Structure 1
Amino acid sequence: MSVPTATDWSEVCARDFAVPAGRPLDALVDELAAALADPDPLVRDGDPYAVLGAWIERDVVAGELRTALGHRMAARFGDPAIEARSFAALVLDMIVSRGDHDPAWFGAFARWYPAETDLRGHHPELGWLHAAAHGADLLGTFGRHPAVAPGPVLDLAAARLLARTDHLFGQREDERTATGVARTLTRPELTEKECVDWVERSAAALADHRRGPAPAWVSNCARTLRALLVLARTGVRAAGPGTPLLPLAHGPAVTDALLRALGPV
């Protein structure tokens, strides 16, 4: 059940995200954090989401307050509600994108992402859930962060793709996952072995399903690898529209590994 917010966040949006007078910033951030776990999609995915994103981007929420919010989101990966877990990835993505980092955040994410079983994209009452896609966005942000080793990020991507699920991607989760992986693969310090080992593990799993109906997870994995094949050849945008295209480290070797993996399926 949705809990009414004390602040008119639509008015904050209309005022170019100016901080409301008369209330401490930490109390406002607490209210926003609660709203980003609200089961009502008009609350969770509406004005509070826009305000929190703007305040993080503009460093209104910065320093110890932003770090505390990061810890709060990392802890939320253990929340019983899927909407809370999934949107925790979105908020943590905002924070890590600003350069903040704590090893505990990646640890919490790594425990949650491949183990998440509720991969629904959109729900008629809860709205967008999209755990696979939100997690993929955060995966790519961690993968680009200089304080995070890229090899374990690629291992985590493989673990998510090979996790058995009956849910078939239907809301472009395959493209979002490929983008997160491709952004990780832009790290120049990656060795060729690191770049292809995780693909070869995926290939071994796919090869067991050459014939007969493909389980949902096999289809999800194969479609993600096909999307990644395009990015291996074209490059990937560093963050989003308007950012430069970056080449993947050891792009030809990655391309060859992907072609070998996709051959049997």
Structure 2
Amino acid sequence: MNIKNTLQSFSTMTHSARQEFMLEKGDWLLQEMLTHIGTPDAELRDKLIYRTFIDLLSDDLLSTEQLQHLFDSATGNDFLYLNIGEEMTDSVFTRSFSALLVASLLAKDAELHILNDDCLQIFFQKIGRFLLLEKDTRGHVQDKGWAHSIAHGADLAATTIRHPKFDLQHAPLILHALKLVTWKDTVFVNDEEERLVNIIEALLARDYSEEALIEFVEQVFDKFEMHLVTQGYNEAFFSGRTCTLNLMKTLYIALKMNNLAPKLQNTIYGHVAKWLKLGA
């Protein structure tokens, strides 16, 4: 069977017809969807495969075994971490859409509590690696659709933090990745900052220490000073400065609008004002 034609047909089925299909051919369908999750074909990848994963999860059409298989596969080196560190190659689509799939699986597991605890804990311990190691910062890729790996990685990190079994002792690794994600020799132009800010909001929703987040912000701005001392005012400094300030301004507005973490707000405002020379 052709996966594209099958998914197009599946999208028009009734709920009962979908149930019957999944009982008969579900394992085959899921494996084909995983195999093609990173295809450069935007219609197949985004509109059919990803949308079908969401429908299957929303309609509870997956067994416990299937959910576990998807999680184990998508979090592995052949999917979420496939060739991570590469730039300008199609492997980004596999990593990026694996991140979306894992986020969706974690959101579902937050309701059902069926994924294996040991597998979850192993994943939680290394989640910070994704944003740290991902170097392909492209948003929309001509003729291939959205890559958006940084944004999808941010979605995954925020969803991971919200999972009831996530231990906040792993948060510093995520914050370390967030501290460096704005120093990838680019300036984000596809609203990545808004998605990255969700990480901080997720931590605050879990009552993560405001003092620890203040320390994180201090370290973010210490990066400016360190770069100037070691490398001076080069191109990397200005892209990193702009990208970081954009992230911090977005975070400040989000905190202000939601009346969250006033001390953290003040810390961010002081540093942003300094680097923008406000009131000078």
TM-score range, shorter chain: 0.7 to 0.9
The one-letter amino acid of 1:226's match is K
The counterpart of 1:134, out of the listed 152, 158, 182, is 152
The one-letter amino acid of 2:249's match is R
Higher helix share: 2
Any stretches of 5+ residues in structure 1 without a counterpart? 236-246
SS at match of 1:142: helix
> Is the 2:151–2:192 contact (alpha carbons within 8 Å) kept by the matching residues of 1?
yes
Q: Which residue of 1 aligns with 2:221?
A: 203
Q: Which residue of 2 aligns with 1:263?
A: 273
How far apart are residue 179 of structure 1 and its match?
Answer: 2.0
Q: Which residue of 1 aligns with 2:194?
A: 175
How far apart are residue 7 of structure 1 and its match?
Answer: 5.0
- Cα RMSD over matched residues? 2.5
Q: List aligned pairs for 1:150-229, cutoff 5 A.
A: 150=168, 152-153=170-171, 155-163=173-181, 164-188=183-207, 190-207=208-225, 214-229=237-252
Q: Which residue of 2 aligns with 1:79?
A: 82
> Is the 1:229–1:255 contact (alpha carbons within 8 Å) kept by the matching residues of 2?
yes
TM-score by length of 1: 0.83
Higher radius of gyration, 1 or 2? 2
The counterpart of 2:7, out of the listed 6, 9, 29, is 9
Query: Measured at CA, do residues 158 and 259 of structure 1 come closer, stay the same or move farther in structure 2, by a change above 3 Å?
Result: farther
How far apart are residue 35 of structure 1 and its match?
Answer: 2.6
CA–CA separation in structure 1 for the residues paired with 2:20 and 2:62 = 14
How far apart are residue 31 of structure 1 and its match?
Answer: 1.6
Q: List aligned pairs for 1:7-156, cutoff 5 A.
A: 8-16=6-14, 18-19=18-19, 21=21, 23-75=24-76, 76-80=79-83, 81-98=91-108, 99=110, 100=115, 102-150=120-168, 152-153=170-171, 155-156=173-174
Query: Measured at CA, do residues 106 and 215 of structure 1 come closer, stay the same or move farther in structure 2, by a change above 3 Å?
Result: farther
CA–CA separation in structure 2 for the residues paired with 1:57 and 1:184 = 25
> Is the 1:162–1:221 contact (alpha carbons within 8 Å) kept by the matching residues of 2?
no
Any stretches of 5+ residues in structure 2 without a counterpart? 84-90, 276-280
After superposition, the C-alpha distances for 1:141-175 in whole angstroms (9 at most, x for unaligned) are: 11112211335335423423424311220110011
Query: Measured at CA, do residues 159 and 78 of structure 1 come closer, stay the same or move farther in structure 2, by a change above 3 Å?
Result: closer
Query: Measured at CA, do residues 139 and 194 of structure 1 come closer, stay the same or move farther in structure 2, by a change above 3 Å?
Result: same
> Is the 1:71–1:105 contact (alpha carbons within 8 Å) kept by the matching residues of 2?
no
How many matched pairs? Answer: 249
Percent same amino acid at aligned positions? 21
Q: Which residue of 1 aligns with 2:88?
A: none
